[in-house]
A and B are shown apart, each in its own frame.
Chain A
Amino acid sequence: MAEDLQHIHKQVDEIISNRGRTKKSLIPILQDIQRHFNYLPEEALQYLVEQSEITPENITSVATFYSQFRMKPAGRHMIKVCVGTACHVKGAMQVYDSFKRHFKLNDNDLTDITGTYTLEKVACLGCCTLAPVVQVDDVTYGHVTSDKVESVIADFESQVGKRGDRKQFRNADGSEFQGEIRIGLGSCCVASGSEEVKREVENTIIGTGINLQLKNVGCVGMCHQVPLLEVIDEKQNHKLYAKVKPNEVSGIINSHFKPKSLLGRLKAKGYSFLEKMQSDESWEGVERYALDVREDMVSGFLDRQLPVATEHRGVINPLDMDEYRSHGGFEALTKVLGMDRQELIQTVKESGLRGRGGAGFLTGLKWEFVEKEKAEHKYLICNGDEGDPGAFMDRMILESYPYRVIEGMLIAAYAVEATEGYFYIRAEYPLAVIRIRQALINCREQNLLGENILGSNFSFDMQIYEGAGAFVCGEETALMTSIEGNRGFPTIRPPFPAQKGLWGFPTLINNTETFAQISYIIRNGKEQYCSIGTEQSKGTKVFSLAGKINRGGLIEVPMGITIREIVEEVGGGVQNGKKFKAVQVGGPSGGCIPASLADTPIDYQSLTAVGAMMGSGGLVVLDEDDCMVDIARYFLSFTQNESCGKCTFCRIGTKRMLDILNRICSGKGTLKDLDELKYLAEWTKKGSLCNLGKSAPNPILTTLKYFHEEYEAHLEGRCPAGKCTEMISYTITDDCIGCTKCAQKCPVDAIKFEAHKKHSINTELCIKCDACRPVCPVDAVKVL
């Protein structure tokens, strides 16, 4: 025990010496402690108090506020079930329940009996196109259904021993360039196995003499087709392969490139490679997914888009600075340094760019406010605390275009004379943190950060601040107080951050996407930017398109495009031929826009007019199988969970609305409940302190407005979409062919195993996990 204590003290000492001993280091210190011990041991916290200026009150209030921190040890491996919007509509809760059953867990203890696995829900992993998504430690599994729990665990366990055993890619001699292979390394791509594909490419070409450049590129946006592999051959022909599996890689390479020598061939992969060269067998499998950029599917996805923040998507290696430069990178910064600040701000103002974080405040005006303030220090913050479930724009931009964001920040810093900058990035985005960290190092080496940037008299540097898991920290006052080492309690505005921000100094906070648009404006001029979009909403908007859509992914479209155009043209329509019902725009602050309003243009005013809001840019497509009351309940349980708990209207108002929705979803609602729900929604909107509470009722108000009949059906005990488990039951029709698949899948033996006989479901035992329905080959399992 004494040794344990000594070890703890030693660790804490080390952490303090790295991070500092004042309150502002508290969150990073706690993150380090947890990284080391897998939770926050009280001995460590007490020792921290002894050794620093941090008080017990600071620690407790912070450690219990952020969802990242655990006060009790967890299992050796964390299973994170994403319950973001896209995952939710695709059955994430059933997956979660299935894991719970698998490990025999109860709500009070989510660690299995052997202490190996701890199960938790996470708000959104930002891999919406792979929904439902489960992460086991750092391995991400996509399209997980409730019956795949065992295979996920089995696969993970087969992987565990192999970690770190990655074969390095060996560069070819370089004398002769035969072509290039590009592999997407955004989170979605990685999650869908692009690392394995990359390794397989390396393995395949080792020693073959094929002289290829293997290039990692950021997110291409076509997340519905990941992993993507693009081959550019000697003649500069591009060919894009989608949903590539590792075992298909050699076939692809073989079809484009020939090994230089027979020896090379033999050295390569022995017979198997030679065999594949001569056989079409493995090739067919790949062909199914082979895409040509000219094909409709791809052009539909790309043609309506207009990349500004995501310019040069799929072309640039995120961290390759030379490449960024060769595509005009840092030109805008060079142009700006030495420019008159007022003129610069005027340019941004006149470009019409509005904040992309949701509220849509004129960016140039915000800059002007900060510029006007006279102060010894001024801070600049990039808000990358993208917490909306169903949104992953910031993650993609940070991962794929780190230099563009940094350039935008540098220009802003110059404009407002900021002295120090922060990247606030949410904890769930480790890859974004890694990329930005490296990008900052690279920038410092190139004198793009630090003293006298590029020889000018402008000095500026920035650092990363990792969020610790609190949606409310996307709110700017909460975000700043969080950097200061506090609970993320928002405060009243005024004072606005522009006057009194971080540590009381004027502070400019812009959203990641906003910064990513700046260099375009400077390089191409405000007129060109202005020509994109509508009268009131200029430029483009990045959306994460997910849900029941054929082609989900990161999209960037001009303002003014209609919802219908996005869903039908960019997204290729609703999956499986189902009927388009609504889009959820703007996450928990936004609303549900019904299919009947699909011609609503995407701009700030139009979205607000229909009761939604731009939000940060989540677009989740819903089809006829989605229950709108359930969607409202889903968002409310999110905001209720994420409410900071400070002001009465949000803290209790959201809980009471959730109480009513739970009652309605369980079939116990009354007509009066609808009135009360509306009343509470209106008061929570009016009375809450910050925008989290003020916008939390939007999903309720819009569904009440556009889908009132669904609420009424629930009052009568019916859930038309068949989602609300307390109102539905499962049955097997006479179409049953007695194949026993459903019985095999049933986790609670509610279906008796009787080969070649019509099966039936014991509704007493049935837990409505939906495991049986999708496996039936003849669609005989029905929801009543």
Chain B
Amino acid sequence: MIKLKINSQSIEIPKGTTVLEAARKLGINIPTMCHLEGTEHFTSCMVCLVKDAGNGRLLASCSMPAMDGMEIITDDAECLESRRVSLELLLSEHVGDCEAPCQLVCPARMNIPLMNRLIASGNFSKAIEVVKRDIALPAILGRICPAPCEAGCRRKSIDEAVSICLLKGFAADNELTTNKHSVASSSNSGRKVAIIGAGPAGLAAAFYLSKADHSISIFEKNEKAGGDLLKIEETVLPANIREIEIQTILNSGVAIQYQTEIDKVRFTELQQNFDAVILATGAMNGAMEEWGLTLSKSGIEVDKKTYQTILPKVFAIGNALRPSKLAVRSVGQGKELAHLLDEYFKNDVLHALPERFNSKFGKLIETEYVTYLKESNTNKRVDASGGKAHGFSSEEAVAEAKRCLHCDCRNPESCKLRALADEFGAVQKRFQYDDRVLVEKEFVSKKIVYEPNKCIKCGICVRLTKQHQEAFGFSFIGRGFDVRIGVPFSESIEKALEKTAVLVAEKCPTGALALLDSEEQL
């Protein structure tokens, strides 16, 4: 038996145990990517470096055998920095998008490619579910949104952007017409939130907070909910659509008082009676300064990450912060604040929602169009034959959704590179000094996709194909920076992975090898 200390905790383990295994026995987590139980260790990714306190050297814990008397540190500043640097080096050559550009530019961060794929496959009910994770008023926005997402759509550089906005409207209309309205939840968290103003921002906040079982009371000065939406012409936004969609939110257990002006006194009362007060009042009102709030030129001053005003219980969203014509921004803020408050109610600390790490590689260049079109077709953008206010028919929607290029990664949740980049605060651009290489995608047997430029050269797939005695299998090709994983001779990947295609895709630590129909965010 071998005795050693890891982060000052003693442990005794049999000879031959690695430092990583010993640490795991102590419940100390050390990240790894190239290591896979059941295959021999390889020591390539180097995110598992730990420090030997004896000599100050960094060691790869995944393969370093534990030795008697060792004192290992896994979590000091230098170890953590080593993880960040190795991740940043790996990211500097990682050509791939975790999320599609359209999603990243959408103020509400809606998962557009997933919606597109669901519509394309005819799964409309799932599509609207995905839409509503981020957008509380999709039928309305499907008609009035200026669609910044379409400006970010990669398809735009090939011919025309995918008609995302109409697709979202289609998914929403489809649900409205099938009358699958949401029903008030029976459980209650006991937390109460007052929302002042029933415009897009207030409604969105109400929708998500109520979904999270908090009690919502909206105070609306007009006799109708909708705020600025009420000003939009019928030809653009038919009133019935607006009303049904708003009503659906209000029906989900949200209390609303119309024609209720809030003054300073009411405002103070609200703060006393509610756990949080959300100002979704639209354009600001000079009197608010007297309420104890601070104002900037454009609106109420808030913490940019938490929407918290100078008054601890009071939050502000939407046009109350800054006048904007983008209803989608207000809707997005409503959602964000709702999630934030939900966390706050659960943990009693107010934290900004973490910004997830996103690998990005920028614009497609012309030679890459072919690669991206492999996942799509070359059809022209479909127009809604009945006009935008009417929206797509099912056939039109399916046809249009199929134009989506699947720019997002297939493994956005299981990717260890992304998760660790998040955990250690890695910055992708840190060491990106060189021009990026071209995107490549190879589709194998309609089962898996190989994107070599997302590969971290950990060799797990090489070890697995060898272990399963593939006739060809994967092999390292070349050496140094240019080393890549490929197939021996001029064989196809199909031939190389006769037995292990699914296995290697499942075990790949990034999105370099992925199952073709992987939908981790469903």
Contacts and interface: CB of A to CB of B under 8 A. Distances in A.
A648 B90 contact: yes
Q: How large is the interface on B (under 10, 10 to 19, 20 to 34, 35 or more residues)?
A: 35 or more
B86 A648 contact: yes
B480 A641 contact: yes
A142 interface: no
Contacts of B489: 42, 45-46, 56, 60
A349 interface: no
B46 A649 contact: yes
Given A42-B490, A46-B489, A643-B481, A56 B475 contact: yes
B475 A652 contact: no
B462 to A, nearest CB: 7
B297 interface: no
A495 B67 CA distance: 11
A592 interface: no
A203 interface: no
A652 B64 contact: no
Contact of B481 (A470, A495, A654, A660): A654
B465 A57 contact: yes
B278 to A, nearest CB: 43
Contact of A65 (B49, B85, B476, B488): B476
Given A42-B490, A492-B43, A652 B90 contact: yes
B462 A680 contact: no
Interface in A613-636: none
B92 A652 contact: yes
Given A643-B479, A645-B479, A655-B481, A57 B58 contact: no
Interface string B183-202: 00000000000000000000
B15 to A, nearest CB: 11
User: What does DSSP make chain B's interface, helix, strand, loop or mixed?
Assistant: loop
Interface stretch (A169-177, A304-312, A683-691, A775-783): A683-691
Nearest to B470: A57
B479 A470 contact: yes
A647 B46 contact: yes
B478 interface: yes
A190 B5 CA distance: 60
A686 B58 contact: yes
A689 B61 CA distance: 11
Main secondary structure on A side of the interface with B:
helix
B479 A56 contact: no
Interface string A45-59: 110000000011101
A569 interface: no
Contacts of B474: 57
A689 B46 contact: yes
A651 B481 contact: yes
B499 to A, nearest CB: 14
Given A60-B475, A65-B476, A487-B476, A652 B483 contact: no
B86 A649 contact: yes
Nearest to A43: B489
A65 B462 CA distance: 15
B85 A687 contact: yes
B71 interface: no
Nearest to A65: B479
Nearest to A59: B488
B252 interface: no
A494 interface: yes
Contacts of A59: 488
Interface in A727-782: none
A23 interface: no
B63 interface: yes
A653 interface: yes
Given A56-B489, A659-B433, A687-B58, A645 B480 contact: yes
Contacts of A659: 433-434
Contact of B431 (A64, A651, A680, A687): A680
A642 B480 contact: yes
Contacts of A42: 489-490
A56 B488 contact: yes
Given A647-B44, A687-B82, A64 B481 contact: no
B93 A652 contact: yes
Contacts of A644: 479-480, 483
B82 A56 contact: no
Residue among A57, A655, A660 facing the most chain B CB atoms (10 A cut-off):
A57
B473 interface: yes
Nearest to B42: A646
Nearest to B490: A42
B63 A652 contact: no
A118 B390 CA distance: 68
B60 interface: yes
Nearest to B85: A683
A57 B466 contact: yes
Interface in B458-516: 462, 465-466, 471-483, 486, 488-491
Contacts of B42: 646
Contacts of A656: 89, 92, 431, 433-434
B313 interface: no
Interface of B: 41-47, 49, 57-60, 63-65, 67, 82, 85-86, 89-90, 92-93, 431, 433-434, 456-457, 462, 465-466, 471-483, 486, 488-491
Given A56-B471, A61-B475, A648-B45, 4 more contacts: A60-B486, A60-B489, A651-B481, A687-B49
25 contacts: A56-B471, A56-B472, A56-B475, A57-B462, A57-B474, A60-B475, A64-B478, A491-B63, A492-B63, A494-B64, A494-B67, A640-B480, A645-B457, A645-B480, A648-B46, A648-B47, A648-B86, A648-B456, A649-B46, A652-B89, A652-B431, A655-B481, A659-B433, A687-B49, A689-B46
Interface of A: 42, 45-46, 55-57, 59-61, 64-65, 470, 487, 491-492, 494-495, 640-649, 651-656, 659-660, 663, 676, 680, 683, 686-687, 689
Q: Which 8 A-B pairs have the closest CB atoms?
A: A645-B483, A56-B488, A659-B433, A60-B488, A652-B89, A655-B481, A60-B475, A57-B475
